[in-house]
Amino acid sequence: MDRLLNAMTGLSVLLIVMVLVSVRRARIRVEYSVAWLAGAAALLVFSRARGLLRTVADLLGVTYPPLALVLLAGSVFLLIFYRFSLIISQLKDDNIALAQRVAILEYHLQMLKDHAAGY
């Protein structure tokens, strides 16, 4: 049990460091780092606070507390993935609309140029 919880602690610390370094290097925008940092912090707290983890495991009806931690972590990261799917879909829609608008504006510009050139 200790080994698994220690591994979870290590993983959460690694995740926090990676996200902070990426934010510092402007590879992740601050607003998108919050979900990762919150998830990793929750993982860190639960992997260190045994009493809290045992309470959560009892609430979930899980006899082996580290399994509760894995379930919690999985749920948190699923929610994060879902949120990012929403963001990516919105970005794709915006990107398509922008590309179409650019093409249409270029078309109008070309028409104006042709008109000015006397075609």
Partner 1 sequence: MSPAVAEGQLLILIPAFNEEGAIAGVVQAVRGVMPGVPILVVDDCSRDGTVALARGAGAQILALPHHLGLGGCVQAGYKLAFELGYDYVIRVDGDGQHDAHDIPRVFETLRTSGCEMVIGSRYLDGNGGGTSPVRTAGIQFFRMVLRPILGKTVRDPTSGFVGVNRSALEVFGRSFPLEYPEIEALVVLQRRRFRFVEVACHMLPRRTGRSSITPMKSIYYIVHVLLGVFVNVLKYERRAPKQTRRV
- Interface residues with partner 1 (CB under 8 A) are 96, 99-100, 102-104, 106-107, 110
Scan for tokens 């899980």, then name that residue.
Answer: 62
- Shortest distance, position 5 Cβ to partner 1, whole Å: 41
Separation between Cα atoms, residue 115 and residue 103, nearest integer Å: 18
The nearest distance, CB 106 to partner 1, in angstroms, is 7
For the bound state, the minimum distance from the C-beta of residue 88 to partner 1, rounded and expressed in Å, comes to 14
Residue (50 or 92) nearer to partner 1, CB: 92
Nearest approach, Cβ of residue 79 and partner 1 (Å): 22
Instruction: Give 46-94 as a DSSP string.
Output: HHH-HHHHHHHHHHHT-SSHHHHHHHHHHHHHHHHHHHHHHHHHHHHHH
Angle between helices 30-48 and 50-60 (to 10 degrees): 90
Q: Which is nearer to partner 1, 34 or 96 (CB)?
A: 96
Give whichever of 25 and 108 is closer to partner 1, judged by the CB atom: 108
Which token pair is 83? 């949120």
Report the residue number, 55 or 95, with the smaller CB distance to partner 1: 95
